[in-house]
Amino acid sequence: MGIDEELHDRIVNALKGADFPINNYDKLMESFPHGRGGVCRAPGFEITVEDAITSLVEEDFPFNNAEDVAHVVIKRIRRGGIM
pLDDT in tens, the chain (83 residues): 678 888 899 899 999 999 999 999 999 999 988 766 677 777 777 888 888 888 899 999 999 999 999 999 999 888 866 66
Query: How far is residue 16 CA from its own chain's centroid?
Result: 12
Which residue(s) pair with 40 in the sheet? Answer: 47
- Residue 19 phi/psi, 5° resolution? -95, 105
Distances (CA, A) of 22 to 6, 37, 43, 68: 23, 19, 29, 11
d(CA 32, CA 37): 9
